[in-house]
Structures are given as C-alpha cells and as structure tokens.
Amino acid sequence: MASPAEFPAPWTLKGSAVLISFPANKARVIESGILSAEDEDAFVGGVGAVMLVRYSAADCGPYDELLYIPGFFRFRGKRYLRIAKIFVSTPESVEWGRRNWAIPKELATFAWRQDEKEWHIDVKKPKSGDNIYSISLTPRFFSFPLSSSLLPLTLLQKQEEKYADGKTLYLETKLMGKGRSRIAFIDRVEGSREFPDYHDMSHGPRIAVAVDPFDLTFPVAREIV
C-alpha cells in the first residue's frame, strides 16, 4: 500500500472547468516555440484547446490547473492529443502528474472566483507574481450533458528520463469523465510569453464551455516503449 505521501494512478477527481476549443493554426503553434523538436515533427494540427480546471476533490488533494493542448500529433500510425504546457497550484500535483502520466506540470498561483453569473480566473508566476494567463467569462443559457463518450480524450506524453529507467518511454492515457455544461462568453482574456492567448493560435470565436460539476478518472497509463 502506498504511503500517505504517494499518489499513484488511478485518480478520481471532481470539480469545475472551462474548455476553450479552436481550430489550431499549425504555423503559429510551431512558431510559438512551445513544442519540442520531436513534437514539431509530429504535430498535425486540427483542433486545439485551453482548459482551466478547479479540482475540488482529487487523490493528491484539491488543486487548480491551466493547460494547453495544441492539437493532434502523429505517433506510429495513430493520432493523439498532447499537453504541451500546463500549470497547477500544488507541488503534489506537479510531482505525481509527471510520474503517473508524463504530464509536464509546472507550479503557479491561482485566483479563482466563480458564481452563477461570472467566472474570473488569474494564473500567475509563484515568485514574481507576473501574469501567465487571465480570463473572465459569463456562462449563459441552459445546461447540457458532456461526456468522454461524446468527446474521447486520449493523451500520449513522452516520459522524462528520470522516471523512465533509461528507456524511451511514452504513456498513453484514456480519460473518462462526465459533467454538466453551459455555453460561456469570454469577456476578457490575456495570455503571456509563458502561456499565449489562444487567439494567437487560431481565428476562432471567443466562446467557451463552462463545466460544473464534473467527475473525471485518470486511469493507470499504458506504457509504450
């Protein structure tokens, strides 16, 4: 049995989230410098996403998250999504996100203010307080169900050497979740060099999906050598 300080997969999580999806501009993504050389070669484009997540319950304790998925990547004849940039609010999530699923998490501070009418989320660097990403949005209209059966999400991430026992190792993770969603209008968004405004990567409309609440499972990843 794991000690209290260890948080191996699988994880069961609950919370609320903002999902912004958009047509990825392949040239802009590559020019951004966010991708590694290997990822640039494998990058296909398609649909990208920015997600902001408040996990009210998680195996490692509650935490907040900001992530960027540029779009699809080729790997051995298949297409996968890949998280290229991600910030979270706790060191436990950083460490075990990297160990369990090869997700390259970094630490940031979050201010998350949410009510029935408005959501305001600010993500900043821990030491300097400089902006990483900031957004305000207004959920509207009726709620509708959202499920991983409708929007399949399979990640493929390359594991860091220190966790891969000297092997070139990739981890495939098929997420499973469901929640209640509403369309939201984005009133303000501000990116930075650390995390560009998604509009820099697309020409999509400034709308989002606000998910509250949701249930999500991060299973044990499948190793691909």
Is residue 141 domain-resident? yes
**110 in any annotated domain:** yes
CATH number of the domain that 158 lies in? 2.40.400.10
Whether 65 is in a domain gets the answer yes
The average pLDDT across 143-156 equals 84
The pLDDT confidence band at residue 173, using thresholds 50, 70 and 90, is very high
According to the per-residue pLDDT averaged within each range, which of 151-160, 196-205, 209-218 is highest?
209-218
Q: 165 to each of 54, 162, 225, how far by Cα in Å?
A: 33, 7, 11
Number of domains, the chain:
1
- Whole-number pLDDT of residue 199: 76
156: confidence class by pLDDT, cuts 50, 70, 90: very high
> Per residue in 38-78, pLDDT tens?
999 999 999 999 999 999 999 999 999 999 999 999 999 99
The reported pLDDT for the residue numbered 124 is 98
Q: How many residues does the chain have?
A: 225
Give dist(CA 207, CA 205) in Å, integer. 6
Give the chain's count of helices (H) and strands (E): 3, 15
Residue type, 126: P
Domain containing 17: what range? 11-224
The average confidence (pLDDT) of the chain is: 93
Q: What is the mean pLDDT of the segment spanning 10-28?
A: 94
Distance CA(185)–CA(7), nearest Å, equals 36
Whether 100 maps to a domain, the answer reads yes
Angle CA(75)–CA(79)–CA(80) in degrees, nearest 5?
A: 90
pLDDT for position 153 = 85
Does 27 reside within a domain? yes
Question: According to the model, what pLDDT value does residue 143 have?
Answer: 93
Identify whether 91 is preceded by a cis peptide bond (ω within 30 of 0): no
Residues 158-181, mean pLDDT to the nearest whole number: 95
| H or E element that contains 92 | helix 91-101
Residue 5 lies in a domain: no
Q: Does residue 4 form part of some domain? A: no
pLDDT > 90: percent of the chain: 80
Residues in CB range of 190: below 8 A, 6 or more apart: 131, 133, 134, 135, 197
Is the Cβ–Cβ distance between 84 and 65 less than 8 Å?
A: no
**Residue among 11, 12, 21, 10 at smallest CA distance from 181:** 21
Torsion, Cα of 85, 197, 80, 11 (10° steps)? 50
Checking if the pLDDT of 2 tops 60, the result is: no
pLDDT interval class at 4 (50, 70, 90)? low
Q: Provide the pLDDT for residue 151.
A: 65
Across 104-110, average pLDDT: 98
In a domain, 37, yes or no: yes
